[in-house]
Structure 1
Amino acid sequence: MSETLERLKIIHNGEKEQRTFSDAEMERRLSTLRKIMADDGVDVALLTSYHNVKYYSDFLYTAFGRNYAYVVTADDAFTVSANIDGGMPWRRTYGDNVVYTDWQRDNFFHVIKETLRSRGVRVRRVGVEDDTLPVQLRQKFQDTFDDATLVDISQAAMRQRMIKSPEEIEVIKHGARIGDLGGEAVKAAIAEGVTEYEVALAGTEAMVHEIARTFPASEIRDTWVWFQSGVNTDGAHNWPTTRKLRQGDILSLNCFPMTSGYYTALERTMFLGEPDARSLQLWNINVDVHRRGLDLIRPGISCGEIAHTLNEIYIEHGLLANRTFGYGHSFGVLSHYYGREAGLELREDIETVLEPGMVVSMEPMIMVPEGEPGAGGYREHDILVVTENGAENITKFPFGPEHNIVRG
């Protein structure tokens, strides 16, 4: 064979796209990461998770079985993407991009090492994300830089992401507003005999159109709705099915607009027709927990303190064992298949203290099994931005029996 196939390509095809955030915002993120690196003596950070590649580069990859990275040094940064994506990663990346081909095994690692070598970077300590890095991929990095020490920087990067900038908060506020619009579309589609998935489609379509209108330069991707009824409400993450709605059903409305990798959510308990007495009682108890939780969100309180306080209400009603998860979590670069700022979960075992700039949900849920009075899952969900003196609730869709019983 006379022609040698390339291992590394540069594909600067088209023009750079308008990014989600300003240059100043992206430089703020990178400068903080570089301080983390400097404090640990790290020469190069190899970021491989969806959330950190997106957070620091503004490029959200689609793996499809291939590896991707954002490589950051003291004065340089570039994404590493697969040839199948063409020039799109470069157009979406803050910084440079290099491309690896499929023609030889381990080209991904070869391209990272070769690019760093060509740019004069001496690699002695490498920052990696041990919270999401598969063992085999970590070993490949170690084999590639056999004289270097691999250092976990995932927890420090997570702590950086937990405090949102004003630009991030603006995106999140739009997301909450769009989630409310999706909720209205879902509510309007609810009727006896309609399937769960048809109701979900109505909410998804409404949100996608509004995302495109509000963020015309963004990719349109990943927005979805989980709409559940009857027994399907028992899990918070149950996908819609072909089940048809019936009079008396408990319903769960869950709208998730995704704007450039930033997840927001609206979740509400609803009923099709009048709930029975026990269902109404359980619903109101969960609403009481939700209201108390909204009052607790403020700077200076710990995640664990919030959880323990709300537990007391469930204990009073003998429902603590019916809880299904923590009382809330952080928002930002997050989806149903990537991201999680685990240090900012509203759970008993998390000691993080809330600070201005954090964005968290309040979302209590209880589940009563089939065969028991009031069977089903009860869940409310609002998003709050922690401020200097309290918190701003950016979810406006109403909750509770006085608003969310669908009659007719």
Structure 2
Amino acid sequence: MTTRPEFHRFHNGEKAALPFAVEEYEDRLEELRERMESAGATVAVLTSMHNIAYYSGFLYCSFGRPYGLVVTETDCVTISAGIDAGQPWRRSFCDNITYTDWTRDNFWRAVLSVAGTGAIVGYEGDHLTLMQRDKLEDFLQPLTMLDLSYSTMNQRMYKSPAEIELIRAGAAVADVGGYAIRDAIREGVREIDVAMAGRDAMELEIASRFPDAEYRDTWVWFQSGLNTDGAHNPVTGRVLQRGDILSLNTFPMISGYYTALERTLFLGEVDAASLKIWEANVAAHEYGMSLLKPGESCASITGQINAFLAERDLLQYRTFGYGHSFGVLSHFYGREAGLELREDIDTVLEPGMVISMEPMLTIPEGLPGAGGYREHDILVITEDGNENITGFPYGPESNVVG
């Protein structure tokens, strides 16, 4: 009778080219192990897309199945579902174990084979569900458990030179998408038509720049009129009309790394009330970028921009924080919440961090200048200030189009 394994190693084919050199992943794991030792953890069981991708290079697609990365003092192993066959092995810097569907909870049996029982287990408190936490305790019988989510997030906030190089390339790809969108804008076309032009241009650019990468999840949010009121409003079939306020948002995804370009535009003409709001938001954007330097805290920067807008009687129209970190994140996963420009974040900027400046004002329908205004640039914090790696122009001089 054929044995049906609970898990096995399906190392099919050769290792693929990963986003970073082996040394980059070794350095990340070395720091993770130092953080584990400092916290007292003897094994880490990581389950989020962003941490698994950050430490191993493998970005999973869950489809309802659990995935993991188990790190001990000597081992680093991704745990993946049989439906993916050999792809997780090829895309993991480290070892890989495939678990099967034949018996429920084979995922945890595979984790157990690496982690053992009785360890001090580090986990991600911001990701592990209550159900999966119970199973971790049942299978691994940990001596105790420690939340590593904040520590791993803190590690990811500081970008290596190789990460900054990839993010810089992503910002350039976002600009390519922006120009394709601007060229596609005209009266009578739908939001979806414009969005597809930007997405297609970016995917072609990514394939040209990164011939060995996986291609997925690059997207565009292009909004018009009332649809511009929110930063994350989806694309619709609304037809563009002369005088519309437009919101251009390009999001190239390169091996799990997200970058973005966001711009306000107007179709054909901009009325006086809208122009006044737009110019004020551009001024806040430029002022905010001038504040991004080492030694400044997120809360302090936020307070200064708040005061800038309050002086112009516009603070009540601000809808969210003024910027956030970049790295392994997307709309599906990941967030370095310790590096966001908000009143409740005290993190001090340091060289090697990458952060956006993206003030947004939303004027409700029925008021002069109604719509959502947002500009977004990506900046690398340097020793004495910042470097803006976004190239697409902003403001009324460049973005009244069509």
From 222, 236, 239, the equivalent of 1:227 is 222
Q: Distance in 2 between matches of 1:115 and 1:165?
A: 29
AA partner of residue 82 (structure 2): N
Q: What's the CA shift string for 1:212-262, capped at 9, x where partnerless?
A: 111111000010000000000001001110001000000000000000000
CA contact (8 A) 1:43 1:123 kept: no
CA contact (8 A) 2:70 2:114 kept: no
Which residue of structure 1 lines up, in the alignment, with residue 66 of structure 2? Answer: 67
Q: Name the SS for the 1:395 alignment partner.
A: coil
CA contact (8 A) 2:48 2:127 kept: yes
Structure 1 residues 219 and 234, CA, compared in 2 at 3 Å: closer, same or farther?
Answer: same
Which residue of structure 2 lines up, in the alignment, with residue 159 of structure 1? Answer: 154
Q: Distance in 1 between matches of 2:81 and 2:127?
A: 20
AA partner of residue 38 (structure 2): D
Q: Name the SS for the 1:6 alignment partner.
A: coil
Q: What's the CA shift string for 1:14-47, capped at 9, x where partnerless?
A: 1100111011111110000000111122111001
From 308, 311, 319, the equivalent of 1:316 is 311
Structure 1 residues 210 and 123, CA, compared in 2 at 3 Å: closer, same or farther?
Answer: farther
User: 2:103 aligned with 1:96, yes or no?
Assistant: no
Q: Name the SS for the 1:204 alignment partner.
A: helix
Which residue of structure 2 lines up, in the alignment, with residue 403 of structure 1? Answer: 398
Q: Name the SS for the 2:397 alignment partner.
A: coil
Which residue of structure 1 lines up, in the alignment, with residue 41 of structure 2? Answer: 42
AA partner of residue 188 (structure 2): G
AA partner of residue 97 (structure 2): V
Percent identity over the alignment?
58
From 386, 390, 401, the equivalent of 2:385 is 390
Q: Distance in 2 between matches of 1:116 and 1:69?
A: 12
RMSD over equivalenced CA pairs, Å: 0.9
Q: Distance in 2 between matches of 1:3 and 1:303?
A: 60
Q: Show structure 1 runs of 4+ deviating over 4 A.
A: none
AA partner of residue 394 (structure 1): I
User: 2:355 aligned with 1:360, yes or no?
Assistant: yes
Q: What's the CA shift string for 1:255-289, capped at 9, x where partnerless?
A: 00000000000000000011111100000000000
Which residue of structure 2 lines up, in the alignment, with residue 247 of structure 1? Answer: 242
AA partner of residue 234 (structure 1): D
Q: Name the SS for the 1:36 alignment partner.
A: helix
Q: Distance in 1 between matches of 2:195 and 2:118?
A: 49
AA partner of residue 405 (structure 1): V
Q: Which runs of 5+ in 1 are unaligned?
A: none
Where do residues 125-164 of structure 1 align in structure 2 (5 Å cutoff)?
A: 125-164=120-159
Where do residues 6-405 of structure 1 align in structure 2 (5 Å cutoff)?
A: 6-117=5-116, 123-405=118-400
AA partner of residue 130 (structure 1): G
Q: Name the SS for the 1:15 alignment partner.
A: coil
> What's the offset of the Cα at 1:123?
4.0
Structure 1 residues 116 and 313, CA, compared in 2 at 3 Å: closer, same or farther?
Answer: closer
TM-score (normalizing by structure 1) = 0.97
Q: How many residues align?
A: 402
Q: What's the CA shift string for 1:281-340, capped at 9, x where partnerless?
A: 000000000000111111010001110000112111221111111000000001001010
Q: Distance in 2 between matches of 1:390 and 1:142?
A: 47
AA partner of residue 53 (structure 1): I
AA partner of residue 30 (structure 1): L
AA partner of residue 45 (structure 2): L
Q: Name the SS for the 1:192 alignment partner.
A: coil
Q: Name the SS for the 2:322 alignment partner.
A: coil
Q: Distance in 1 between matches of 2:260 and 2:400?
A: 20
Q: Distance in 1 between matches of 2:203 and 2:179?
A: 14
> What's the offset of the Cα at 1:115?
3.6
Structure 1 residues 246 and 164, CA, compared in 2 at 3 Å: closer, same or farther?
Answer: same
CA contact (8 A) 1:142 1:148 kept: no
Q: Name the SS for the 1:267 alignment partner.
A: strand
AA partner of residue 305 (structure 1): S
Q: Name the SS for the 2:107 alignment partner.
A: helix
CA contact (8 A) 2:262 2:377 kept: yes
AA partner of residue 56 (structure 2): S
